[in-house]
Amino acid sequence: MISLEDWALIRRLVADGMPQRQVARNLGIARETVAAAVRSDRPPKYERPAQPTSFTPFEARVRALLAEHPSMPATVIAERLEWSGSITWFRDNIRRLRPEHRPVDPADRLSWTAGDAAQCDLWFPPRKIPLEDGTMVLLPVLVIVAAHSRFVTARMIPTRKTEDLLLGHWELIQQLGAVPRRLIWDNESGIGQRGRLAQGVASFAGTLATKVVQLKPYDPESKGIVERRNGWLETSFMPGRTFSSPSDFNAQLQEWLEKANGRVVRTIKARPIDLIGHDRARMLPLPPIPLQLGWRERVRLGRDYYVRLDASDYSVDPAAIGRIVDIAADLDRVRVRLDGRLVADHARVWARGSTITDPAHVEAAKRLRHQFQEPRLATAPDDLSRDLADYDRAFGIEGVA
């Protein structure tokens, strides 16, 4: 068989007008070989004829198993077929046959028009963050990426519960300056599952006039932009950094994102900061009224004058004991009101099981406790001793010698 160089030379010489007989004579090869090279439309390629191997007797049964169970591990197939040869050789053959029996799930190329969509996801940084009580925990970061401009916004939040997710959404949407027409999510439990949105999510979307789209399982490509940004945060933002608190993490993250959004994105050959204006112009305007989001509850204040929010207790002015109070909390503050009057205002702690006390509430409780006890002290006798003669008269032994 001739080489690739000879094949190319033969075709060039013949194309220049040299007779095939002379080409064969000059190159010292058979005329039939020259004629075959001229007729062929591709370079010559040596192919070894297929020969039976130790795997050949098992191939039909392997194909039958893969047709029914495409993902069955090679070791299990080897055990079922009582294979006694090299497991590496067996795996190589399974790897060759498996694609022929595995269902194909094509991924379309998606294009994102300006203002249409933002992809949302939770990213868990691979480093524990210190909290108020000294504990170290892994905390979620809400990431929202405008799909057209690739503009990234992100913030660490206390929990993945619906209340905190919606608060994070609203803060990041305000950073975008407008509302994307669609918010694309996977089946995150705080947003909704199995086609049903979590409580409060539908009203949130309705207030913003946007639509929350939950992807079907096994459809990562439709959320690939934010998934890649999560990986980028992990490999570009995290290395070499230390964090003293969640607020420190968010401060460093915001500073880094300002620089990151000014870098050219390879897939769109542009900087997100240059495209976000066009993206924002096609989005929906922010609602004209403030949203009522976050943790909200009405409870009757007990004698210990504390209310519980997300597994932590916060003190309240004890003057409200026995009355109905309204609790409202966002990502940063916890506030309690009585008939519209503020009776507690605390920084929200992210450490679970904490007790947060305002010294003014302790002093007020001490003062009220003293006032409660004063009437009882006023009516109590000053001298609790009793004359023994009173007992003699009571039992009729008065005057007995």
Q: Tell me, what's the pLDDT at 51?
A: 82
Buried b (16+ CB within 10 A) or exposed e, 337-368: bbeeeebbebebbbbeebebebeebeebbeee
The reply to whether 121 and 257 lie within a common domain is yes
Tell me, yes or no, whether 342 lies in a domain: yes
Is position 73 within any domain?
yes
Number of domains in the chain: 4
* DSSP state letters, 326-393: EEEE-SSEEEEEETTEEEEEEEPP-STT-EE--HHHHHHHHHHHHHHHHHHHHHS-S-----THHHHH
Q: With CA atoms as reference, report the closest residue to 326 among 301, 346, 305, 348.
A: 301
Whether residues 68 and 167 fall in one domain = no
In-domain check, residue 109 = no
In angstroms, rounded to a whole number, what is the distance separating the alpha carbons of residues 39 and 272? 54
In a domain, 300, yes or no: yes
In a domain, 368, yes or no: yes
Which residue segment(s) compose the domain that 238 sits in? 117-282
188 close to 122: Cβ distance less than 8 angstroms: yes
Decide if 25 is inside a domain: yes
Amino acid at 111: S
pLDDT at 108: 56
Residues 125 and 261 in one domain: yes
Residue 170 DSSP label: H
Q: Which of 80, 44, 50, 45 is nearest to 62 (CA)?
A: 80
Q: At what angle do helices 20-27 and 31-39 cross, to 10 degrees?
A: 120
The helix (run of H) or strand (run of E) holding residue 192 is strand 192-193
| pLDDT confidence of residue 176 | 93
Task: Give the pair of three-digit tokens for residue 99.
Answer: 């694609």
- DSSP line for 81-104: TT--S-HHHHHHHHHHHHHHHSPP
242 in a domain, yes or no?
Answer: yes
Report how far residue 282's alpha carbon sits from residue 179's, in angstroms, rounded to the nearest whole number.
Answer: 9
Residues 183 and 231 in one domain: yes
Q: Is the dihedral of CA 147, 150, 154, 160 positive or negative?
A: positive
pLDDT digit string (tens) for 36-49?
888 887 777 767 77
**Rounded CA separation 364/317 (Å):** 7
| CB 352 within 8 Å of CB 335 | no
What one-letter code names the amino acid at 75?
T
Give pLDDT, residue 401: 47
Q: Is the pLDDT of residue 107 over 70?
A: no
**Do both 137 and 229 map to the same domain?**
yes
Residue 260 pLDDT exceeds 90? yes
Output the pLDDT for position 254: 96
| Res 372: pLDDT | 80
pLDDT at 146: 95
Bridge pairing between strands 312-315 and 211-214: unpaired
Task: List, for residues 153-170, the tens digit of each pLDDT value.
Answer: 999 999 999 999 999 999
- d(CA 93, CA 213) in angstroms, rounded, equals 42
Contact predicate 166/204, CB 8 Å: yes
CA dist 180 and 115 (Å) reads 6
Question: b vs e for 267-294, b when ≥16 Cβ sit within 10 Å of the residue's Cβ?
Answer: eeeebbeebbeebbeebeeeeeeebebb
Q: Are residues 166 and 271 in the same domain?
A: yes
Distance CA 259, CA 266 (A): 16
Same domain (yes/no): 132, 34: no
Q: Answer whether residue 110 is part of any domain.
A: no
Is pLDDT above 70 for 75?
yes
Is residue 27 domain-shared with residue 72, that is, in the same domain? no
Residues 126 and 209 in one domain: yes
Could you tell me the CATH number of the domain that includes residue 249?
3.30.420.10
- In this structure, are 252 and 155 located in the same domain? yes
Residue with token string 């007995």:
400
Which neighbouring-strand residues pair with 284? 179
Residue 177 token pair: 């300056």
- Predicted confidence band of residue 101 (pLDDT cuts 50, 70, 90): confident
Q: Where are the alpha helices (DSSP H) in 143-236?
A: 162-176, 201-208, 224-232
**133 and 278 housed in the same domain:** yes
Tell me phi and psi for residue 286, to 5 degrees. Answer: -65, 145
Structure tokens at 202: 């539908």
**In this structure, are 131 and 96 located in the same domain?**
no
Phi, psi of 333 (to 5 degrees): -130, 155
pLDDT, average across residues 233-242: 94
Mean pLDDT of 294-321: 93
Q: Rg of the chain's alpha carbons, rounded to an integer? A: 39
Express each pLDDT in 117-152 by its tens digit: 999 999 999 999 999 888 999 999 999 999 999 999
